[in-house]
C-alpha cells in the first residue's frame, strides 16, 4: 500500500505541474481542456496565467511535502487540495461547460485526490 500511496501522490503532484505549465505556455488549449474556453488575449490572459501559477505551485508544494515532511502532512495537503477540483467542477457547470467535463474530469479528479489522501493517511 505504501508504494501505491506514494506513487499516486507523486503522479497527482506531477500532473499539477503539467497543468501549470500548460496554462502558462499553451493557455488557449488548456482553457478548452479545462471545460471553459477562454480567449488568451486581454484580461483572460491574466487569469489563465494565475491558474497556471496556482496549479504549478500546488504541484511543487505537494512534492516538497512528500519529500521532506512525509506521508501524513502530504495526506492533509491532499485532503485540503481536493477543494480545488471540487470548485473547478462548479466553475465549469456555472460557466456553460458540459456536465461530462465537470464530472468526468474535475469531480473525478477530486475523488482520486481524496483516495490519495486516504491511502497516505493509511501509510
- Look at the chain and report how many structural domains it folds into: 1
- The per-residue pLDDT for 38 is 87
pTM, 2 dp? 0.93
Domain that holds residue 79: 2-122
Which ranges of the chain does DSSP label H, i.e. alpha helix? 2-25, 27-34, 43-68, 71-81, 83-94, 99-101, 108-122
Residue 40: pLDDT over 90: no
Q: Render pLDDT for 57-86 as a digit per residue (tens, 0 to 9).
A: 999 999 999 999 999 999 999 999 999 999
pLDDT band, residue 51 (cuts 50/70/90): very high
Residue 35: pLDDT over 80: yes
Burial zone of 96 (CB within 10 Å; 0-12 exposed, 13-18 middle, 19+ buried): exposed
Amino acid at each position: 500500500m505504501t508504494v501505491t500511496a506514494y506513487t499516486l501522490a507523486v503522479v497527482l503532484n506531477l500532473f499539477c505541474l503539467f497543468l501549470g505549465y500548460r496554462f502558462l505556455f499553451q493557455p488557449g488549449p488548456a482553457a478548452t481542456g479545462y471545460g471553459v474556453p477562454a480567449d488568451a488575449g486581454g484580461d483572460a490572459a491574466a487569469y489563465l496565467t494565475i491558474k497556471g501559477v496556482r496549479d504549478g505551485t500546488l504541484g511543487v508544494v505537494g512534492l516538497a511535502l512528500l519529500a521532506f515532511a512525509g506521508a501524513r502532512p502530504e495526506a492533509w495537503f491532499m485532503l485540503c487540495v481536493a477543494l480545488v477540483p471540487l470548485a473547478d467542477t462548479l466553475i465549469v457547470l456555472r460557466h456553460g461547460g458540459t456536465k461530462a467535463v465537470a464530472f468526468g474530469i474535475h469531480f473525478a479528479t477530486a475523488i482520486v485526490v481524496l483516495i490519495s489522501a486516504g491511502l497516505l493517511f493509511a501509510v
